[in-house]
A and B are shown apart, each in its own frame.
Chain A
Amino acid sequence: MALLEVQDLHVHYGAVHALQGISFTVEEGQVATLIGSNGAGKSTTLRTISGLVRPSSGSIRFDGQHIGAMAPHKIVRLGIAQSPEGRGVFANLTVHENLEIGAYTRNDRAEVARDRERVLHLFPRLRERLKQLSGTLSGGEQQMLAIARALLARPRLLLLDEPSLGLAPQIVKTIFQIIREINESGTTILLVEQNAHMALRAANQGYVLEVGKIVLADDAHKLSQSDEVRKAYLGIS
């Protein structure tokens, strides 16, 4: 059974039919990616899974449990953490404080301390800046912090919303390298990206979203070879 199963999901923003019945699955231990252009509904999908947006119909099952109508803070406790679009770091708090909030739902202090070490090992840049206000970090460092903060909730499923947004190519590379490392250590990842090239290289399974519908679903490698994707998203003709 898949770790995450989304079935016939519909979301409305007022009169706008943002998601028009999408279905997809994320297998345990894998990286799945949703690619698509602006306004395709990628972020809406993530926000619906994490409970920030309410679906109008359809089902979301995490590890067999229905989470479609659950409050976001309960979903985090079940094991889904999100690094939100635009990073959403707490600018006036230090890096250290941001990480503490990431572990807000947990009471096992010693385990949190150990996870913090692990995360800082993944992101050595953050260790250098623990006492710094996170608003003063560079864009790439803020993205690292957003991912690190989500990891401290110790999720089984990590939702990443556009981790490459507005970052220099060199930093995008580093971040995707780390995303792979996170996955190798056992965390399942659902990645939303406009940077289809990087996303499909990192993922096992890929889905292409177009105006609220999934138009293609395949093995990520095969997707990156297909003509439609190459033309529309990879800019190769």
Chain B
Amino acid sequence: MSKLLSTFSARHLVFLAVLLAATVPLLLNIRLTHTASDETKRFYANINSLPSGSVVLISFDFEASAFAEIKPLADAVLRHCFRQNLRIIGLSLFAEGTALGEQTLSRIAIEKGKTYGIDYVYLGFRPQYTSAILAIGESLPKEFPTDYFGAATAAMPVLSGVINYDQIATVISITDGGMPTYWVDYAVTRYHARLQTVLTATMATSLYPYVSSGQIQGLIAGLKGAAEYELLLNEAGGGGRGLLAQSVSQIAILAIIIVGNVVGYLGRRRKWQ
């Protein structure tokens, strides 16, 4: 035990503080009161403004690693889309996101009483995301002659009249990485697609330049974004539950910064003396 303690460094104390800050709040049944940010309201309003029957292409561009953070966001957005009676085309540009995307889409569709092939379809995975995004711009039916389950897509009512991005009201990339930049480069710039994104909190700031330029029309991120969206939808979900843990972790990091400065200052003072 003493040997273990002797190997303990400041780094380990920092790790321990984060572990406690992230896990203990999950055990408490406390919900923070909050309001929705303008960013979340804009995303919500964009979906709300779409007429019933509009086509939404949702790309599940994430891996299993980020699913815990992505799931509440994806759930909330899908609930909203189905509530608005939008036609949903699901696909994945990441092999790993394929099954998770299908599970998420089917779960929410069943919850909302939607019918496969009429209200939604899942097209599955296409390798090489650059060429997949470009190929949809040329011809979605050619790129996806069959769906994830191997059924022919040509006769599906949900895909009726959909040829390329021109018939898609909005593309939503649900992601844990930089995929929206590929959508901007290839779908927005070349085919003038309308893009929104739902992503993990760490990646959000890298996309703000695209939001302010209008290339990304809406963005919601992280558990806070999910909690805000649930608030607007007036439906409970995982975002509200995770918000406390995320917020306490953020404050713990703030405390760590302050402690780091005090330790640094004391070290420097000792040196001067």
Q: Do A and B bind each other?
A: no
Residues of A within 8 A of B (CB): none
Residues of B within 8 A of A (CB): none
